[in-house]
Amino acid sequence: MDLILHEYSQSGNCYKIRLTAALLGVPIERREYDIEKGETRTPEFLTTVNPNGRIPVLQIGKRFIPESNAACFYLADGTALVPDDRFDRADMLRWMFFEQYNHEPNVATLRFWLAFVGETRLSELQRTLLPGKREAGEAALRLMDEHLDGRDFFVGDRLSLADIALYAYTHVAEEGGFDLSAYPAVKAWLERVAAAPGYVGMGA
């Protein structure tokens, strides 16, 4: 079945899917949209690709899976990136939900605001939200660091989708003004993920 990734290549959410596919050796075709020009908000995109107006979306034949972590799961279900053990599988999901609720809305949003929009172009509301997002982003990184202290990967003893989901925006967190030297266990884990066979960087 042909796989097409509807994406914006600078997005960590999209990168998660490319990284999962690369680690599994699964080829995917890529289709680029400029989110800053509203290309995911056109009537055609909303009708045919994702009514939620966002990328990434993984197209499988004529069907579409929005939400990065769901798309990663589609690719990895039944592979070594999803633990066999029932508890570990639920624990993997726990970290993927943590990523979407505690990590991405803070770490990724600050990266987008500061490195892509630019501090001087932020709206009044965005400026007001900045300190809270900084604090919440640091809290997420701290929790990751504590969990990884003495562990190689988030779940069990091997790489899973939990690592991929959290890697995507953590490895570029410094673009959002987060200083990763405060999180040594996170830094060591980033290197372990990057050493996985088949790994591709965000710009590949």
Ligand X SMILES: N[C@@H](CCC(=O)N[C@@H](CS)C(=O)NCC(=O)O)C(=O)O
Figure out which of the listed residues 59, 68, 160, 170 binds ligand X, where binding follows CB under 6 A: 68
Residue 73: how many other CB atoms lie within 10 Å: 19
Which range touches ligand X (CB under 6 A), out of 49-57, 113-121, 166-174, 188-196? 49-57
Task: Report the distance separating Cα 99 and Cα 65, nearest Å.
Answer: 18
Site string for ligand X, 6-25 (x = CB under 6 A): --x--x-x------------
Q: Which stretch binds ligand X (CB under 6 A): 23-31, 54-62, 87-95, 190-198?
A: 54-62
From 24, 42, 48, 53, residue interacting with ligand X (rule: CB under 6 A)? 53
Interface with ligand X includes 59 (CB under 6 A)? no
Q: Is 41 in the site for ligand X (CB under 6 A)?
A: yes
Note whether 35 binds ligand X by CB under 6 A: yes
CB of 189 to ligand X, least distance (A): 21
Does 105 bind ligand X (CB under 6 A)? Our answer is no
* Distance separating alpha carbons of residues 40 and 31, to the nearest angstrom: 12
Determine the 3-state secondary structure of 16 from DSSP: helix
Nearer to ligand X, 8 or 183 (CB): 8
Torsion of CA 149, 155, 159, 165, to 10 degrees: -90
Nearest 5°: the CA angle 24, 63, 92 is 45
User: By the 8 A CB rule, do 42 and 48 touch?
Assistant: no
Binding flag, residue 176, ligand X (CB under 6 A) = no
Q: How far apart are CA 111 and CA 113, in angstroms?
A: 6
Pairing of strands 3-7, 29-32: parallel
Chain positions contacting ligand X, by CB under 6 A:
8, 11, 13, 35, 40-41, 53-56, 67-69, 100
